[in-house]
Amino acid sequence: MGNTVIWKPSDNSLYSNYLVYKVLEEAGMPPGVINFCPAPPQLVNDNVLAHPDMAGVVFTGSSATFNKIWAEVGKNIETYKTYPRVMGETGGKNFHLVHPTADMESVIAGTIRSAFEYQGQKCSACSRAFFPKSKWPDLKTALVQRTKQCKQGHVEDFDNFLCAVIDKAAFDKNVRYIELAKKDKSCKILVGGGYSDKNGWFIEPTIIQTTDLNCVLLKEEIFGPVLTVYVYDDAAKGAWKSVCEAVNVGPKYGLTGGIYCRDRDKIREASDILRHAAGNFYVNDKSTGSIVGQQPFGGARKSGTNDKPGSADFLQRFVSPRTIKESLEHTRTIWYPHQGQPPAEA
């Protein structure tokens, strides 16, 4: 798009980012177009975000860090030659909402995949699930059994379904929420709940059931293999509408969500109520259902600016359009036809 870029990688993924950078160079990217710059965050803030030529920021990470970047840009707004474009894809508290008509085998497989692949460390991972009471006994048995079957170990062994979380900070955060669930009378750990830091930062795939819609485990991003489940009474009058509204107002995020349902009227109703709850909304698919290169991705609320990377529209954020008009007819009069005869010449 004609831009030059400073690429500041995450401290936790320096090597993989560097390899991608070298691949781009080998593929023919001219020198200086992308400038790989590992650095402490504050050093980037002090030099890059304060520079007059800084024209845009693209960020993927936590909502808290994005808030700081946005504040830093605002603080420096008088410095810039042009108003910067600020784009972010941040946190999520993504959901699976299940109707009694759903294909329950798909629900089980999709939920386990979405919640525990990549150790739940995907911005779109399923972190909360809402199941109908009439189907819960069988769902509960299957979810527990199949979660226990998920092998965990070293990342180089492809038989393992999940490995360790990325660092000690992530480990400590997951442990904090698991311990909170153990102390909360509204919560019950159905499977998992164990953890160990002896040979890596390992958190067991964990499913927690809560009876409290206001439980923090249904509201706050954990970013790990911890799934919180709420069972709603689908026999109650207006149950589907009520649970949709609960999903919508729960957390502050709005990234992804999936509903499993074979009733088209209920699908439409959920889609309307959850319009702002998920920038990527899936019907009978898991919350991690986006396919790179095929589906634009992103959400709003505290999940980011929803600029939809993966679409042609996103490229408009990286240009400054100029409109040109050239007149081929010459206008030599001041007065418009509706004003009648022009005044007499002086």
DSSP string, 175-238: HHHHHHHHH-TTEEEEE---EE-SSS-EE--EEEEES-TT-GGGTS---SSEEEEEEE-TTSTT
Q: Is residue 221 flagged as an active site residue?
A: no
Give the model confidence (pLDDT) of 54-102 as tens digits. 999 999 999 999 999 999 999 999 999 999 999 999 999 999 999 999 9
- Give the chain's radius of gyration (CA, Å): 25
Supply the pLDDT for residue 103: 98
Q: Is the pLDDT of residue 346 over 70?
A: no
89, 204, 220, 221: which is the annotated catalytic residue?
Answer: 89
Higher pLDDT: 331 or 301? It is 301
Per the listing, tokens 């900070």 go with 169
Mean pLDDT of the chain: 95
Please report the domains of the chain, with CATH numbers, ordered by start residue.
Answer: 5-90+300-318 (3.40.605.10), 94-283 (3.40.309.10)
Higher pLDDT: 42 or 223? It is 223
Supply the pLDDT for residue 336: 86
Supply the pLDDT for residue 44: 87
Q: Is residue 123 flagged as an active site residue?
A: yes
Q: Is the pLDDT of residue 344 over 80?
A: no
Supply the pLDDT for residue 41: 86
**Which DSSP letter does residue 30 get?**
P
Q: What's the mean pLDDT in 4-13?
A: 92
117, 123, 163, 221: which is the annotated catalytic residue?
Answer: 123
DSSP string, 245-304: HHHHHSSSEESEEEEE---HHHHHHHHHHTTTT-SEEEESS-TT---TTTS----EETTB
Q: What is the pTM of this model?
A: 0.92
Q: What's the mean pLDDT in 2-12?
A: 91
Higher pLDDT: 343 or 173? It is 173
Q: How far is CA 162 from CA 114, 122, 198, 266, in A?
A: 12, 13, 17, 34
